[in-house]
Amino acid sequence: MCAQKAGKGPGVLWSVFNNKCPRCRQGDLYLQKNPYKLKTTTKMPETCPVCGQKFELEPGFWFGTGYVSYAFAVMLTGITFVIWWFTIGISIRDNSIFWWLGANGVVLVLLQPVIQRWSRSAWISFFVRYERPVADSETEA
């Protein structure tokens, strides 16, 4: 929170959904690009390969991602509800709402690795501010 260089860079949402370091928004948060390699889904380097930002800020830091993950799950549930409503339709006269519940459960389970990563990414961006990386041309002179 001390001397920071404010400036334009990639947006915070872009950074969260692309799993980028919250400080430089360039380095990858995860070692493996593919979240569906389940053994390495949440494997992260200790520090950012680009700016050196430490990722696990304190022991048990990632505990709070549970809340973020819950928020993402609620958001996705809202999205599947709206999609179901407009495509298949939801009525109290048939079982459509139960089909939606089942389908939503499947979607949430299938997206779990992605949600896990977004949750960590969002969580760390609550604590680490963006600092525009210093370009090479600025360090010379």
Which is it for the CA torsion 38, 13, 28, 1, positive or negative?
negative
- Minimum CB–partner distance for residue 17 and Zn ion (Å): 16
CB 79 within 8 A of CB 52: no
Q: 17-36 burial, b if ≥16 CB within 10 A, otherwise e?
A: eebbbbbbbebbbbeeeebe
Which of 15, 16, 19, 21 is the binder for Zn ion (CB under 5 A)? Answer: 21
Taking the least distance from each CB to Zn ion, the nearer of 43 and 94 is 43
Tell whether residue 107 is a contact of Zn ion (CB under 5 A): no
Q: Is 122 one of the binding residues for Zn ion (CB under 5 A)? A: no
Residue closer to Zn ion by CB (options 10, 105) is 10
Does residue number 20 form part of the binding site for Zn ion (CB under 5 A)? no
Q: Rule CB under 5 A: is residue 124 a binding residue for Zn ion?
A: no
| Contact indicator for 76, 107 with CB cutoff of 8 Å | yes
**Window 43-102: residues binding Zn ion (CB under 5 A):** 48, 50-51, 53
Which member of 24, 29, 44, 122 binds Zn ion (CB under 5 A)?
24
From 13-21, 61-69, 70-78, 79-87, span contacting Zn ion (CB under 5 A): 13-21
Which residues lie below 8 Å from residue 122, measured CB to CB, with a gap of 6+?
16, 65, 68, 72
Contacting residues toward Zn ion, per CB under 5 A: 21, 23-24, 27, 48, 50-51, 53
